[in-house]
Structure 1
Amino acid sequence: MIVAITGGKGGVGKSTVALNLAHELDGVVVDGDLTTADLPRGGGPDLHDVLADRADPLEAVDRHGPVRLLPCGRTLSGARAADLSAFPMVVRRLEREYGRVVIDCPAGLARDVGRQLASAHVAVLVATPTEPALADAVRTRRVALDLETPVAAVALNRTAGAVTDGVADRIERTVSAPVLSLEERSVIADAQRQGRPIAAVAPDCPAVDAVCTLARRLERCTTHRDDRIDAHD
């Protein structure tokens, strides 16, 4: 299973969702943002090196606390040397090794995120309950559908409980996918600054249950997909 975490707008919490989902799925998270990486740095080769054919994908996977991570470099020269056309082969290699791969996609639309999004079996849209973020999420859904990557769920980040109830209903009608809310809590921001999953910092935080629910939904989606492929064969 390869999952793309996307949403169009930057700063909505894609990296937070990607890191925590990879931990819940016991997979590997790939920092797919070649120019503005946001996940923790590694101690060895990174995605820039892999896409420039200077390192093997498995060699570049690092451990950051309890999470497996393929980090991305921070240099412009590294981004320029990277051959993004190799990205699908990289994530498929990781899937064969680890079973579950979560891609933290860059902000933006169309070609900025296309290769990463097209490499995934399913996508999760991430947005905050603001009009610009929601509008970008809807646009990203259109891109995903054009690339034949179905949207399995929407993670509505930094919500404030009942204030967001109507927004969630509207998103579900517009996107045709269930919405899971992650309430704004300081412990989530603290965990992300440490580059650690919420479950490792505050296991009783309600966001842990929300991520678990998201993970189970993705597993069901991909199981149904595999069943349809087997029936077709």
Structure 2
Amino acid sequence: MIITVASGKGGVGKTTTTANLGVALSKIGKNVLIVDGDISMANLALIFGFEKKRPSLHEVLSEECEVGEAIYKHNSGVSVLPASLSIEGYKKSDLDIFPDAISEVADDYDYVLIDAPAGLNRDMAIHLAIADKVLIVLTPELFSIADGLKIKQSSEMAGTSIIGAILNRTGRDYGEMKIDEIEMIVQEKIICAIPEDGNIRNSTLKRRSVIEYDPNTPASKAYMELALKITGSYVSVNKIEEIYNENLTSKIKRFFSKFKR
């Protein structure tokens, strides 16, 4: 399944969500490819320490290499198709090649997560059209929610269904909008709320996902809950905490296997 992770505006945590959701899916045994689809403002590779890897997606989009040559395995378990930080790489890239490049490798993975550029533009239209599903990232602020509604409408125009919306950085402000108010505006279900958590910033500085940095932090547990929801195996965050208190990898896989029976 190809999932485009989208937002109407920048700064809402879309890239962080893409990276951590990918790692969470990997932890429950899924084969995951994470793609930096924001070729003009690429930064996903920074989280995984792949910003200097060559070839990158830019070389794929300039037809200098095959897509498989630009995919790298990370020690967290995910595979990553990074984009270069180079302006020159961006200038020579042809995004029209992107759908064919992703389609060429998509069947090799259970999930392909595309970190799309923020906003509504031609690049976003391509990312929405190629996806099987769209995941919208919001913060509990009016501008983010209004822009998220535009992404929803654009997804519908592209004929791509929406998994739901992620409400990121919750709990910062006692006056923030409530989940039911947000759902009424965007007309989509909030499937997970990611709390404000300083460990996310700390983990990014360490070039790691928050799940690797501290699996017991509130954001890590929320991302694990999100991964289970997306795979159709929902459990509460309290159950995730119980699993973590036993043994991170083996117990999550054991618990997850019950849903396959």
Alignment TM class, shorter chain as reference: 0.7 to 0.9
CA-to-aligned-CA distance 1:86-117 (integer Å, 9 cap, x gap): 21122222322222110000011131311112
Partner of 1:103: 114
1:203 deviates by 0.4
SS at match of 2:114: strand
Q: Which amino acid aligns with 2:107?
A: R
Structure 2 segments unaligned to the other structure (5+ residues) = 27-31, 46-50, 234-261
Report the TM-score, using the length of structure 2 for normalisation: 0.78
Partner of 1:183: 195
Report the TM-score, using the length of structure 1 for normalisation: 0.87
Correspondence 1:1-233 to 2 at 5 A: 1-26=1-26, 27-40=32-45, 41-66=51-76, 67-160=78-171, 163=174, 167-173=178-184, 174-220=186-232
* Stretches (4+) displaced over 6 A: none
Query: Does the Cα contact within 8 Å between 1:155 and 1:182 map onto a contact in 2?
Result: yes
Instruction: For 1:13 and 1:43, locate their aligned partners in 2 and report how far apart those are by CA, in whole Å.
Output: 23
1:17 deviates by 0.4
Query: Does the Cα contact within 8 Å between 2:215 and 2:221 map onto a contact in 1?
Result: no
Instruction: For 1:161 and 1:74, locate their aligned partners in 2 and report how far apart those are by CA, in whole Å.
Output: 31
Q: Which amino acid aligns with 1:90?
A: A
Distance 1:92 1:195, change over 3 A: farther
Distance 1:90 1:195, change over 3 A: farther
1:120 deviates by 0.9
Instruction: For 1:198 and 1:62, locate their aligned partners in 2 and report how far apart those are by CA, in whole Å.
Output: 20
Q: Which amino acid aligns with 2:114?
A: I
Q: Which amino acid aligns with 2:67?
A: P
Distance 1:94 1:23, change over 3 A: farther
Instruction: For 1:29 and 1:116, locate their aligned partners in 2 and report how far apart those are by CA, in whole Å.
Output: 13
SS at match of 2:232: helix
SS at match of 2:149: helix
SS at match of 1:215: helix
Distance 1:6 1:147, change over 3 A: same
CA-to-aligned-CA distance 1:186-217 (integer Å, 9 cap, x gap): 10111123332211001001222222222223
Distance 1:31 1:47, change over 3 A: same
Distance 1:139 1:24, change over 3 A: same
Distance 1:184 1:54, change over 3 A: same
1:220 deviates by 3.1
1:165 deviates by 7.9
Instruction: For 2:126 and 2:16, locate their aligned partners in 1 and report how far apart those are by CA, in whole Å.
Output: 21
Query: Does the Cα contact within 8 Å between 1:35 and 1:79 map onto a contact in 2?
Result: yes
SS at match of 1:53: coil
Query: Does the Cα contact within 8 Å between 2:140 and 2:167 map onto a contact in 1?
Result: yes
- Corresponding residue pairs, total: 221
Identity of aligned residues (%): 32
CA RMSD, aligned part only?
2.0
